[in-house]
Structure 1
């Protein structure tokens, strides 16, 4: 009741009603406890009856009886204490009975004075004083009193409506207070958590860039204390001047669309103006009745950026060093080839000259490989096709009959280019590591050398065909000549004898591959064809 009405305003309304209608008035709680001060109370009721213990108890009981909820109209009957006429109307707030408005203390022509005297004796009041006060009680017809009671009911209904509205407002206010208190508590807990995150610098700011939150990690990262940062503009604090316009646009876009920027690496600045690299994430917090608040979470990645830069520098240094090493190895191989050529020129024994030429060819194979690695961008791998094209040309060029030989290289697709004494390019399909590429080079060197020695020999002309194929997951290279052919093994799976071919077999095992020897195909049955296959 006390939360629904201004009691003093009710008192004023009650006083005015009492004066206008010439009736006593009082508003009580449902149990009869007075809420307002009495208005227009008669001397009989106030000074005589209620002054006695029995009379006061009877009055309280009567007041409570008038408080029974009656939605159909006022309750009108004689007072349960002295028998004067009273009326009452209840005041409710929704389904809650909150008060009673009582009026009355009037008499009419039907009152019996002998009953009054008897009641005075019952409650222990002075009979003469009782009757003297009784004669001062206003007299009013039953019809008039009923009209006043009906007006009271109408006023009480209006008060009940107001009480219901006030109750709803009070509940709404209370609920809102609870919600606001919960939000404040949640916000404080949220900010405490953010404040204690030591490894992440967290800033809160409004759409215009004004900083609202600045945790301790921001001091370590950017050099500004919370007292310096809060209230300042984030763009002025940590955004590089050349990026401020763009960042301002991005902030407005986040607020307007509700879509935050994707996390990513940024270069910001410290208080002393030095740049700092961070990995930055964003979020937007919406609270009822407040403008959106943006939060930026930054992790220092400066060390990682420095490490990455150093790694790139070291890789570049390694690339330079490897190129220098490959270049020196290539030059050393070239020197060995030249020395072997000079040595072979001083000998007269054909077998010794042939042995030196074989050694020279193998050094040449390494020279071609390291020259290719020196020129390549990736120094750990080499292209099979490029290596074969240059290697075959080099090996064939070591023989006096090179100008009379037609070299034919065929790719997996079947394309072929003929060029006397010089190998054409094979389409670039597969790259393998240097170790296996070196092994492949030694094998092809031996096979092409054998083709030139025994397939071409002293003939006026001939053809050496190298075919590179790349079936799924493997490399297949064949070397074929159109000469008289070499003696083939008597049993399938056996390989021809000789140091060179023994070395070829051992190198093939290192590649995890297989090699077969068979008669040539063009023309059928002529020459020799060696087929090498190994995993790519």
Structure 2
């Protein structure tokens, strides 16, 4: 498994630091390639010196032959072009300075060659000087190494900047080859992972990865590589002492001058403390969820006890009017208890599915008033309405009061009819329609001035939740309530 098993891009690492680091690495790699190329050219040139010595006219770099008396015997075309004033100046030319010392060295030590660097104007040259004792002469091969030296200086400066960045970073910075083997890793690895950098160089990143994370990492990385999109990955890395450290890794691919994938740069941050805090928070949230469910459960039980007490008490009431009042109170308590029961059984502790709530509430009211679907049909058109506890209790009481009034008054003498509830979302508002096609309310009844408790509750509850209430008596009794910003 190569880079596609351990590459990603993005993450929490500061973008500016990451981009700067990546730029430094890429520039450093470019300079390394240039230096390697220059060194390879130098080696090839040195190897060709003697081969091309027999054909100096074809050699691209200057060749000069000097007699032991320091007379210029020969200049190839490249030398004439590079140093047009050399014949005129002779041994006084900068390219020929200090040759007396060099020939003395040859004669005293027996050496056959020597190399030196010379600055001539703004350029830097390397001279390879060979002693030809049989000819009593020296042959000098000269090469302009100005650009090579510039690259070397730039490389050292970039390397210094890079090490200053990586050595002082809290994150672990690493460079891998195409097989995901570490080519470089910052000193911070010892602080975060326990390994010295030299212990990790050459080893594959997969070696340190948690076995359970490897397939997931490979899948995520493959996706990022195929799409070329930024991303992030969290994984566990084995510490030197054996335990696993949670890391968040971010990085970028590295390419050579031909655009071929050559490796990757990664910046990995220790997030073990954050993961521990997340686990503690999740544990705490679960405990609070259990506690909140228990609260809803106990509230529901207490309300059911109140409802049962009302039911028991109503058995001792002889007056029908008073018995109906107790039944109405009992239904109101049940409607509130039902909200807490739904929350207790729901996965969400903040909102309930109001359609499911109304279905349950309507069943309770059917039983309470002895109604049947054959006599009074109940239609429900409520979809994707979720309300919090306060709104659900208010809306539940509204539905309870209006439907209870319908069952009690809209269908006298066994008259058949229909009761319905509709709720539609309109932006942040909810439109609620609750009605029946029964006998209807008297035309002269003012719902805001009536002495009937049930209708007073309807107008009061609508006002408490900021609802706009309208009453339509054209065909039965229809309440239209616009609930503002309940969604």
TM-superposed deviation, 1:360: 0.5
Q: Judge conservation of contact 2:217–2:233 (CA < 8 Å) in 1.
A: no
Partner secondary structure for residue 347 of structure 2: coil
Q: 1:240 aligns with which of 210, 215, 231?
A: 210
Aligned counterpart, 2:80: 92
Q: Distance in 2 between matches of 1:98 and 1:370?
A: 103
Aligned counterpart, 1:328: 298
Does 2:183 align with 1:228?
no
Q: Distance in 1 between matches of 2:349 and 2:219?
A: 46
Q: Distance in 1 between matches of 2:216 and 2:168?
A: 31
Q: Are the structure 2 counterparts of residues 260 and 99 from structure 1 closer, same or farther at C-alpha, using a change threshold of 3 Å?
A: farther
Aligned counterpart, 1:531: 480
Q: Are the structure 2 counterparts of residues 235 and 429 from structure 1 closer, same or farther at C-alpha, using a change threshold of 3 Å?
A: closer
Aligned counterpart, 2:406: 451
Partner secondary structure for residue 470 of structure 1: strand
Deviations 1:167-219 (A, max 9, x none): 6xx22x2211221221232123212221111x211123444555443323211
TM-superposed deviation, 1:261: 8.1
Partner secondary structure for residue 184 of structure 1: helix
Q: 1:465 aligns with which of 411, 414, 419?
A: 419
Higher mean Cα deviation, 429-438 or 366-375?
Answer: 366-375
Aligned counterpart, 2:326: 356
Q: Which runs of 5+ in 1 are unaligned?
A: 13-25, 27-34, 40-90, 103-161, 412-426, 522-526
Q: Are the structure 2 counterparts of residues 250 and 339 from structure 1 closer, same or farther at C-alpha, using a change threshold of 3 Å?
A: closer
Q: What are the residue-to-residue correspondences of 1:69-84 with 2, within 5 Å? A: none
Does 2:349 align with 1:387?
no
Q: 1:514 aligns with which of 444, 468, 477?
A: 468
Does 2:185 align with 1:214?
yes
Deviations 1:323-381 (A, max 9, x none): 32222222222222221111111111233222211210111111222222222211211
Q: Are the structure 2 counterparts of residues 372 and 407 from structure 1 closer, same or farther at C-alpha, using a change threshold of 3 Å?
A: farther
TM-superposed deviation, 1:386: 1.4
Q: Distance in 2 between matches of 1:253 and 1:485?
A: 65
Deviations 1:20-48 (A, max 9, x none): xxxxxx8xxxxxxxx429x9xxxxxxxxx
Q: Whose Rg is larger?
A: 1
Q: Are the structure 2 counterparts of residues 502 and 250 from structure 1 closer, same or farther at C-alpha, using a change threshold of 3 Å?
A: closer
Q: Judge conservation of contact 1:488–1:518 (CA < 8 Å) in 2.
A: no
Aligned counterpart, 1:201: 172
Q: Are the structure 2 counterparts of residues 357 and 234 from structure 1 closer, same or farther at C-alpha, using a change threshold of 3 Å?
A: same
Which structure's relative contact order is higher, taking Cα pairs within 8 Å and 6+ residues apart?
2
Task: Give the superposed CA RMSD.
Answer: 3.9
Q: Distance in 2 between matches of 1:400 and 1:260?
A: 64
Q: 1:189 aligns with which of 141, 147, 161?
A: 161
Partner secondary structure for residue 385 of structure 1: helix
Partner secondary structure for residue 419 of structure 2: strand
Q: Which runs of 5+ in 2 are unaligned?
A: 1-60, 74-78, 91-138
Aligned counterpart, 1:176: 148
Q: Judge conservation of contact 1:439–1:507 (CA < 8 Å) in 2.
A: yes
